[in-house]
Copies of this chain bind each other. A is one copy, B any other.
Amino acid sequence: MIEQRQLGKSTWVFSNEVRLLSSAAVVGPMEGEGNLADSFDLIYNDLYAGQETWEKAERKMLEDVVGKVIEKAHLTADEIDLYLAGDLLNQNITSSFSAKSMQIPFLGVYGACSTSMLSLSLASVLVDGGYANHVIAGVSSHNCTAERQFRYPTEYGGQKPDTAQWTVTGAGAGLVGKGTRGPRITHATMGTVTDLGIKNPFDMGSAMAPAAAKTIQTHFEDTGRTPKDYDLIVTGDLANVGLPITRELLEKEGYRLGEQFQDCGLMIYHAKQPTFAGGSGCACSAVVTYGHLMKQMEKGDYHRILVVATGALLSPVSVQQGESIPCIAHAISFENDG
């Protein structure tokens, strides 16, 4: 008899032994001057990270963070069965090229900025189900590679409205395995694509808010939990436009979230840093979760948290063709023993 592993359509339940054995986060210089500077394993002095191009710098960051996560778990690359990764660049090149240097079987995933929890959810399934012993989930983003790909060449210096967000430069990774140490990964709730018709690529917070609200509501319905079961519910990159909208949408559904409801995009930078509405990018939820939040859990500041990574699934072509922005959010519940 197999234990129950599915709640509702969208939520997976993992056995007690599935844990984040280690996690690591590396960031660029601006993130290294933010609120969470002490949480990161490495802060690069400049955006090139010693490489010739920004694309290679982003790759170096992802390779570095994967090296760190293996080292922190006291394992070797040989002991890793699978590497799941995704990023924002066309054709996921940061991830694919990093997999080339590692020589670990590789599965590419893509969920825009929700990729952090998408990759970790699948990693947890593979370990929980007995398909792999050790799986790494990794993501990256880089302000300069994202800007020139999604918006304008960085050198152009285009103006932006206050609703715009700042792509986080960095990479985060988590190593999933069975064990007795590290926070348990207990549930993953997979999102449905939600699109309420917002077309402005400089206001992704508003576009993503309904997707975040929907995944949080689904998580509560599938698990029977309520906001008070969590010490912290944190979205990926809704920033100061999207977070209040999500709060309001959930309140309408009867879920009142207080101070325990926060956003990685608002946590990472100081208010005085010129980051518009807040941080975004795959690395935003990843470096905050794998850097800061896991350290807080280790210290015992939180017993149980829900990380809801949010993604705007647009492309420059879809925007140019007048399409609205489909969004998605994937959530993972982390829990300390006891």
Interface residues in chain A, defined as those with a beta carbon under 8 Å from any beta carbon in chain B: 2-6, 9-10, 12, 53, 55-56, 81-82, 86, 88-93, 96-97, 99-100, 102-112, 118, 122, 125-126, 128-133, 149, 190-195, 313-318, 321, 323, 326, 328
Contacts and interface: CB of A to CB of B under 8 A. Distances in A.
A105 B188 CA distance: 12
Contact of A326 (B90, B100, B132, B190): B100
A106 B193 contact: yes
A107 B90 contact: no
Nearest to A97: B326
A8 to B, nearest CB: 9
B108 A111 contact: yes
Contacts of A82: 9, 190
A321 B89 CA distance: 14
Total copies of the chain: 2
A160 to B, nearest CB: 20
A29 to B, nearest CB: 23
A126 B118 CA distance: 14
A265 B122 CA distance: 30
A5 to B, nearest CB: 4
A93 B317 contact: yes
A105 B2 CA distance: 23
Contact of A108 (B103, B110, B195): B110
The 5 closest A-B pairs by CB, nearest first: A129-B129, A96-B313, A91-B315, A108-B110, A99-B193
Nearest to A81: B9
Contact of A6 (B90, B131, B317, B321): B131
A56 B322 CA distance: 12
Contact of A191 (B10, B92, B106): B106
Contacts of A191: 105-106
A195 B315 CA distance: 28
Contacts of A133: 6
